[in-house]
């Protein structure tokens, strides 16, 4: 993956090239699931502990999904009309729902906040409004995650370790980003 480099750009040719390259590197963990994950080459994921899967499989997949959301919003028909890219995107969004965007174990809510921090680097709210019906599983998962994020921000939900001012503050910042998007 060393040859995969993303630049912040709205140049359509660059976005399309990078998106196709990234999607081509994704793979299914469970054949037939339709979920495509962004997994480092030669990674032994069958023996990877679940907390490591969150960090090294789900988080990179969320990052790629956020990038592809940006691409879809900029490229519009160029993205949608590319069948291979669109099919890969659907699989990556589906993979992003695999843990409901949460972390592992006691870090379940921390992981959710981290996941939404990644997704909110993309125009997530606009994407859900414009394309939500095309990706119902992802839309439902993202909306549920934002609802949970709001509960953390309002102090109604706490991690398994108890109340965390740091987590609540981060959640409040992210809700601000969501509200102002």
- Domain presence at residue 1: no
Provide the pLDDT confidence category of residue 100 given band limits of 50, 70 and 90: very high
Residue 161 exposed, middle or buried by CB count within 10 Å (0-12, 13-18, 19+): exposed
Cα radius of gyration rounded to whole Å, the chain: 16
- Domain presence at residue 7: no
- Residue 157 has a CB neighbour count (10 Å cut-off) of 18
pTM (predicted TM-score)? 0.90
The residue to which tokens 């998106």 are assigned: 19
CA gap 106, 143 in Å, rounded: 22
- Domain presence at residue 5: no
Q: How much helix, strand and coil, in percent to the nearest 5, is found in the chain?
A: 65, 5, 35
| Domain span at 117 | 12-180
Question: Quick check: 88 pLDDT over 80?
Answer: yes
Provide the pLDDT confidence category of residue 150 given band limits of 50, 70 and 90: very high
- Domain presence at residue 100: yes
- Domain presence at residue 6: no
């Amino acid at each position: 993956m060393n040859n995969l480099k993303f630049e912040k750009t709205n140049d359509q040719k660059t976005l399309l090239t990078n998106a196709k390259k990234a999607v081509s590197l994704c793979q299914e963990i469970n054949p037939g699931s339709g979920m495509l994950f962004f997994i480092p080459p030669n990674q032994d994921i069958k023996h990877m502990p679940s907390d490591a899967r969150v960090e090294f499989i789900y988080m990179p997949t969320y990052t790629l999904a956020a990038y592809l959301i940006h691409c879809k919003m900029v490229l519009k028909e160029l993205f949608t009309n590319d069948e291979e890219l669109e099919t890969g995107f659907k699989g990556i969004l589906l993979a992003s729902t695999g843990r409901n965007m949460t972390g592992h174990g006691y870090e379940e809510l921390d992981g959710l906040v981290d996941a939404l921090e990644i997704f909110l680097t993309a125009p997530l709210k606009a994407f859900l409004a414009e394309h939500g019906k095309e990706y119902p599983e992802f839309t439902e998962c993202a909306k549920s995650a934002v609802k949970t994020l709001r509960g953390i921000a309002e102090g109604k939900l706490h991690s398994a370790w108890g109340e965390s001012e740091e987590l609540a503050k981060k959640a409040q910042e992210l809700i601000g980003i969501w509200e102002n998007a």
